[in-house]
Amino acid sequence: MSWKPRVVFLDGFAGPGRYEGGEPGSPIIALESAKTHKAKLSEELAFLFIEERKDRANYLSKEIEALKCPDSFKTKVECGEFAPTLTAILDKLAESDHKLAPTFAMIDPFGFAGIPFELMKRLLDNPNCELFVSFMVDSINRWLEHPDPAIPGHIRDAFGNDEPFAVLGSNGDRAAELTELYRKRLGTIARFVRSFELRDKNDRVVYHLFFASKNRLGHLKMKEAMWKVDPLGDFSFSDATNPDQQVFFKRAYEDTLKADLVRQFDKMADVLIERVERYVEDDTAFLPKHMREVLKVLESEGRVCVAEVKSDGNKRKKNTYPADRASGEESGPSRIANACEIKSLNHPPSTRVHWIANASAPKDW
């Protein structure tokens, strides 16, 4: 495979591609989504599938062949273990002074063996690489004290240190502590980390998914995707990044976000919507559209006051909450960081749209 593709989808524990009942596995879902993607991607897309079992790797190769992918798709199935296979690829790239192309790495093992933290770090050291890891916190919790030293060894490897064993002395919720610990560990190598939980109808956590990235846009896109996931029958799906503020997708979220925004901004006299939006994008499970809905409620309740005139001098339309930007800037994460403090921009407050938590508008608005 040539390593000059524009975008890489890496599936580190790929499986056979299709199961006995005909259900597609992650490799086929990824390829079919790319084939039918509305963006009509013309860039070269590379798909690297790593699967340790030969029978599954062979089956996957046949399934991929049957899909008849376009020429711009480069697919490769590597039969081998994830960590050594990927390490060899990264070593080869480093030897030839190349960086990995922007990569979405899906890491979906059965258990917790073979996902060394050092390798996650190495992946995230490449610009625009993102990780999506399913993490078996419950099994880690159960196997922490296994007499076979290889098993705690895999746990140490996954966290990259001995910290997980400290929960053995805890009287609290050990699984929750391990989840928080892994989130913190990923936070040492990525700016954006989110953890998602799938729970069954008895409210038991079935599994955790972690997303880690250094890229604002990648983070936002992942959140948009999560908000689109339909609840699966008796299952509920939630963002559990902040243990004190679990966000259940599709359930009423207004109160959570409302309380969060008030907590965050009520000490400030006035705040640009851009700044609120940036907080929502980067540091919460929510999207800008949720912020706008909440601002509408807060404004109708008289709990915030929003300037009527935008920075361009035009009147703001009722119930709209435009985030101010320097001209020519796109909405979303590409716009300039921190261009939000009124003082630093030297704009009089009346030319901007403000969010006022104490609900008393300046006289000149």
Ligand X SMILES: C[S@@+](CC[C@H](N)C(=O)[O-])C[C@H]1O[C@@H](n2cnc3c(N)ncnc32)[C@H](O)[C@@H]1O
The residues binding ligand X (CB under 6 A) are 13-15, 25-26, 50-53, 56, 81-82, 108-110, 114
Nearer to ligand X, 135 or 321 (CB): 135
To the nearest whole angstrom, how small is the minimum distance from the Cβ of residue 48 to ligand X?
A: 12
To the nearest whole angstrom, how small is the minimum distance from the Cβ of residue 325 to ligand X?
A: 39
Query: Phi/psi of residue 262, each to 5°?
Result: -65, -45
To the nearest whole angstrom, how small is the minimum distance from the Cβ of residue 93 to ligand X?
A: 20
Helix (H, G, I), strand (E, B) or coil at 244: coil
To the nearest whole angstrom, how small is the minimum distance from the Cβ of residue 268 to ligand X?
A: 45
To the nearest whole angstrom, how small is the minimum distance from the Cβ of residue 27 to ligand X?
A: 7
Over 23-53, what HEC string results?
A: CECHHHHHHHHHHCCCCCCCCCEEEEEEECC
Nearer to ligand X, 108 or 157 (CB): 108
Nearer to ligand X, 53 or 289 (CB): 53
Q: Which residues are within 8 A (CB) of 333 and not within 5 positions of it... i.e. 6 or more apart?
A: 215, 216, 217, 219, 220, 281
Q: Which helix (H) or strand (E) holds 353?
A: none
Nearer to ligand X, 8 or 306 (CB): 8
To the nearest whole angstrom, how small is the minimum distance from the Cβ of residue 334 to ligand X?
A: 31
Q: Which residues of 286-320 are buried (b: 16+ CB within 10 A; e: fewer)?
A: bbbebbbbbbbebbeeebbbbbeebbeeeeeeeee
Nearer to ligand X, 5 or 109 (CB): 109
DSSP string, 305-341: B--SB-TTSPBPPTT--PPP--TTPPSSTTSPTTTT-
Q: Which residues are within 8 A (CB) of 39 and not within 5 positions of it... i.e. 6 or more apart?
A: none
Nearer to ligand X, 19 or 259 (CB): 19
To the nearest whole angstrom, how small is the minimum distance from the Cβ of residue 49 to ligand X?
A: 9
**Residue in 279, 276, 345, 346 with CA at minimum distance from that of residue 306:** 276
Nearer to ligand X, 12 or 349 (CB): 12
What residue is closest to ligand X based on CB? 25
